[in-house]
Structure 1
Amino acid sequence: MIHNSFRLVACCAVMVLCGCATQELETAPSQPNIPWGPNLSANGEIKPGRANTHGLILPPGYTLPSNKQIEIRPADAGMATQTGHAYSLAELIDIAQSTNPDTRRAWDTARDAALAVGIAKSTYLPRLTATVVGGYNRARNNGDTPSISNGGAAGEIFNGGVTNFNNLIGGMRNSRSGAGEIQTLGLEWLLFDFGKREAILAAVQQAQIGANILFTAEHQKIIYSVTIAFYTHAAAVSRVHFLEKALENAKHVQEAAQARLKHGQGTIVDVTQAQQATAQTELRLVQAQGDVENTYLELVNAIGISPRTHFETENVSGRPLALADTRLSDAFIQQAVSRRADVLAAYAHAKAARSQVVAAKSEFLPKIFVTGNVAYTTGHLALSSVPGVGSDSSPTLNLSSNSLSSVILGGVSVPIFDGGMRAAQLKQAQDQADSANATLQKTVDSSVKQIVVAENALHTSLAAYTSSAKLETAAQTAFDAAYAAYRNGVGSIVQTSMAENGLVDATLSHSDAYYATLIAASGLAFGTGALDHSTPEYQPY
């Protein structure tokens, strides 16, 4: 009866435990076409578990709740206090390097890589582990019958009497118990491993070099991103400025058309065409003003500050550009490629992969080690050894009750057979090294391509800037002549409108070519690895 009750309780317990894992399905969406109901706290934060019917409940739908714990950063206090100050490109780059979250993440990664080197060096030192174990043990012996062997007739009489007595009382029973404590200090020291630790240390050191290089690369990327965003925003501001002037010219032409109509020299068609030209310019101005807002937000995002921050940027228009047509030599390209952050990082990664191959080969060789412990036992636990607990402790051997014991062992561990695992790991390391070398070669080739493309973009931009300057001069002359002729009753509104549109396009093209040259110069500086916060652009002027 007792056994049946125990089996019933055990079966019920197993059924309950088996249902614990599948019960978590209740926290998932119930159907593929039914919205998920999250478990919310009072402040709207999503918590683990099923939706609480007593808490905050959202109406069914696919809109997630607002978490009040998530806040938008306020405007940058330092920049907000300098109202009226126009920030230069160098100032914005300096702010970005200290506030952009990407620099902090790269910094943390570099610090983690440095700590990995320290961890690798720590494997050369012995490991000491202190352990305190306390417990209670109990042993019971049921039905053991004492007997006398080789006792002759007297022994047989004794054994028969004891057997009859045990049959009456159900056998002899005895038990013993004890409690105690064990205090141990364990030592593990790997003395020699045929270069495995040395290879691992070399690999993590190369990984640290790569992390430091990528930290520098992240700063270069931020400098480049801020530079591009700065010039793009400046180009948008310049377009607004020139379109405002174009709108004034369009209004002057419209006023001239209305004056000619008033004096009987023009037609209503001329007036409507002039109004159309004015409206088209107004539309382009509105679109350009929207671009200013968008490029400003891109600049703020590149800097890494709150979008709520408002500041003014320095006017960089009108700077003279050096128009000399120079080409990069092969020696300069070689030097530029060899200092690019991505190339240097790929080179460090390739060296680390080669060190991993050496570490994998050392797994086939023996290891010489020393291990030991010192233990003090109190009480009556009656243990001869204590197994190690966790990866940082070794088993404690040679225990004696109520005494201090110690043992020190030295040995050689020789790998014999592991089902081909070490061979597979070696092959993996070799494949990874080969892949790292291929990545390095591809990175070098891509770097050369980027430098040449950036150089061509700069020369194209300079040529476009020169041509657009001539076009703007000719368009200005044509508009001045057409406008003067129309005011004097000689020209037509069609010619004047065409000259006006040509001037607007030429002016904007010249402005865009100017900023495109600055952006292309920055791209060449970034491509050659020469972009720095003190020289945020490749000086073409």
Structure 2
Amino acid sequence: MITPPQSQHLHRHKGLALPPGYRLPTDYTLPHQDTPLNLPPDHSYSLPELVDIAQSSNPTTRVAWNAARDSALATGLTRAAYLPQLTASVIGGYGYLNTHISNSTMHGSPRISGEGEVQALSLSWLLFDFGKRSASISAAQQNSLASNILFTGAHQKVVYEVTSAYYLTVAIEAHIHLIEQALHNTRAIERAVKARLLNGQATVIDTARAEQATAQAELNLVQTRGDLENHYLALMTAMGISPTTRLSLQKEADRALTVHDVTLSEKMVQESVARRPDVLAAYAKARASRSQIQAARAEFLPKVSLSGNAAYGVGHLGLSGLGSSPFSANGNGFGGLILGQITMPIFDGGMRQAQLKRSKDQADSADAQLRDTRYHSVQSIVSAENTLHTGVSAYQAAQKIEHTAQTAFDAALASYNTGEGSVTRLLDLQTSLFNATIMRSDSYYTTLIAAASLAFATGSLGDANAVQNSITDPYEATP
């Protein structure tokens, strides 16, 4: 057998050796998944309740909270630069020397030994640095503010994701109900066709078409129930709880959907932009980057500092082996010193200049990021408003279509039961009715999601109550 060129190449150059069966070994040290929450399974959970659970369970909020705490600690670390630095030290040791001397005037084996201890307290205090510490603190404060804002934004994002996943899930549940209604209609048509077939008023083809419509509705029901399970798992994931958790969802009651003849003015859009967490965080980071420029410029200026120390020493020195009288000395003493210092950097190989250039580049990038965030936020607000208006108009139109389709189907079914009309026409009207009901249901839940999207885009979707307020009147949250 001729080996393909690619196989020959692989035989000549052995690279990464994959495990047998292309499967990695199991790591039994991997932490197990968290156990499901102890939530009452017999309770029907509303959307605000699901949001409350998600805000305390979703890992995203925990990560954002830790980031905010780290930023607050960083601010405290920069403030410590204003305080003096005190260092205590104790130095002790023992020395011994044994040698031999032999000459015309002196001979012997002298030994020198000694031990001592020094206790010292050192002080270092930076008094003036032309605003470097102040700029560093300002930058840390702005970064901490950005982290706190992003923590709020993380909560808003969780609320929005849970809201969207919830409405998608209940929309699929509504699909199941509508398919069951369609299945009920097709079975009624099938019974009517078989009744006419017994009377010789229908054909086998009519019966087959009716049975096919019933089978298609049953297939749609099975597939939609599978989709419901996938959407339920997505909802549990958005909440940050175990997918094995089984909750009963409260059904969303139909409500009148209307949009007032009000559009977001330029002022309303700008005020909404100024309330968005991503815009506020980007603005705080831009201000922090400008403070970093001030800190980098201060490195070119002198610094005034104070240093000092206080020490207490204890020692003993012994000398023997030179003559007949050994020598020894004991002593202790206290000393202190305070110094003032002015340091002026002269040459550092371009390090400070490079740091200043880097700070300016970061500030320019932060300003550009702020502008980009503002542009995208305006786009998302206007787009969400347009989607909401479109959704409400589509829902109102779908209601009319569903009403006329229902009237036509009921009339056609009644006529067919009395021996008039054709099964083809009846099945076409049933299909039109089913499509109309699905369109009405989809437009309804799409409008609810669009209302939540507008509240999220304007920075108003902060808690579970804001979800309901945004759906009742999406303009209440905007000035």
Q: Same fold (TM over 0.5)?
A: yes
CA contact (8 A) 1:128 1:187 kept: yes
CA contact (8 A) 1:137 1:381 kept: no
CA contact (8 A) 2:452 2:461 kept: yes
Tell me, what secondary structure is at the counterpart of 1:402? strand
Tell me, what secondary structure is at the counterpart of 1:180? strand
Q: What is the Cα deviation at residue 181 of structure 1? A: 3.0
- Residue 65 of structure 1 is aligned with which of 26, 47, 50? 26
Q: How many residues align?
A: 447
Partner of 2:36: 75
Q: 1:514 to 1:435 in 2, by over 3 A?
A: same
Q: Matched residues in 2 for 1:114 and 1:138: separation?
A: 54
Tell me which amino acid in the other structure corresponds to 2:294.
V
- Residue 230 of structure 2 is aligned with which of 269, 283, 294? 294
1:450 aligns with 2:433: no
Partner of 2:471: 539
Q: Matched residues in 2 for 1:191 and 1:474: separation?
A: 84
Q: Matched residues in 2 for 1:127 and 1:474: separation?
A: 84
Q: Deviations over 1:256-312 (max 9, x none)?
A: 111111221111111111111111111111111112111111111111122222111
- Residue 207 of structure 2 is aligned with which of 262, 267, 271? 271
Tell me, what secondary structure is at the counterpart of 2:202? coil
Q: Matched residues in 1 for 2:21 and 2:88: separation?
A: 57
CA contact (8 A) 1:367 1:412 kept: yes
1:368 aligns with 2:300: no
Q: What is the Cα deviation at residue 540 of structure 1? A: 4.7
CA contact (8 A) 2:120 2:310 kept: yes
Q: What is the Cα deviation at residue 66 of structure 1? A: 4.2
CA contact (8 A) 1:325 1:459 kept: no
Partner of 2:121: 185
1:214 aligns with 2:144: no
Q: 1:107-256 maps to which residues of 2 (within 5 A)?
A: 107-137=65-95, 176-256=112-192
Partner of 2:324: none
Q: Matched residues in 2 for 1:373 and 1:521: separation?
A: 68
Q: Is the deviation greater in 172-181 or in 446-455?
A: 172-181
Partner of 2:405: 475
Tell me, what secondary structure is at the counterpart of 2:456? helix
Q: 1:337 to 1:271 in 2, by over 3 A?
A: same
Q: Matched residues in 1 for 2:130 and 2:234: separation?
A: 55
Q: 1:175 to 1:444 in 2, by over 3 A?
A: farther
Q: What is the Cα deviation at residue 133 of structure 1? A: 3.0
Tell me which amino acid in the other structure corresponds to 1:420.
G
Tell me which amino acid in the other structure corresponds to 2:17.
I
TM-score normalised by length of structure 1: 0.78
Q: What is the Cα deviation at residue 325 of structure 1? A: 4.0
Tell me which amino acid in the other structure corresponds to 1:192.
F
Partner of 1:92: 50
Partner of 1:499: 429
Q: Matched residues in 1 for 2:150 and 2:216: separation?
A: 49
Tell me which amino acid in the other structure corresponds to 1:457.
T
Q: 1:35 to 1:182 in 2, by over 3 A?
A: farther
Structure 1 unaligned segments of length 5 or more: list them: 1-30, 37-58, 147-160, 167-171, 383-399
Partner of 2:17: 34
Q: 1:141 to 1:518 in 2, by over 3 A?
A: farther
Q: Matched residues in 2 for 1:446 and 1:140: separation?
A: 83
Tell me, what secondary structure is at the counterpart of 1:438? helix
Structure 2 unaligned segments of length 5 or more: list them: 1-13, 319-329, 474-479
Partner of 2:216: 280
Q: Matched residues in 2 for 1:140 and 1:60: separation?
A: 73
Partner of 2:353: 423
Identity among equivalent pairs (%): 47
Q: Matched residues in 2 for 1:318 and 1:105: separation?
A: 37
Q: Matched residues in 2 for 1:112 and 1:222: separation?
A: 21
Q: What is the Cα deviation at residue 454 of structure 1? A: 0.6
Q: 1:486 to 1:408 in 2, by over 3 A?
A: same
Q: Matched residues in 2 for 1:140 and 1:418: separation?
A: 48
Q: What is the Cα deviation at residue 67 of structure 1? A: 1.6
1:521 aligns with 2:479: no
CA contact (8 A) 2:112 2:317 kept: no
Tell me which amino acid in the other structure corresponds to 1:271.
T
Q: Matched residues in 2 for 1:91 and 1:508: separation?
A: 28
Tell me, what secondary structure is at the counterpart of 1:411? strand
Partner of 2:323: none
Q: Matched residues in 1 for 2:274 and 2:442: separation?
A: 33
Q: What is the Cα deviation at residue 489 of structure 1? A: 2.1
CA contact (8 A) 1:367 1:414 kept: yes
Q: 1:351 to 1:493 in 2, by over 3 A?
A: same
Measured on the aligned residues, the alpha-carbon RMSD in Å equals: 2.4
Q: Matched residues in 2 for 1:142 and 1:335: separation?
A: 92
Partner of 2:11: none
Q: 1:95-106 maps to which residues of 2 (within 5 A)?
A: 95-106=53-64
Tell me which of the two structures has the higher relative contact order, counting C-alpha pairs closer than 8 angstroms and 6 or more residues apart.
2
Q: Deviations over 1:244-267 (max 9, x none)?
A: 111111111111111111221111
Q: Is the deviation greater in 325-334 or in 233-242?
A: 325-334
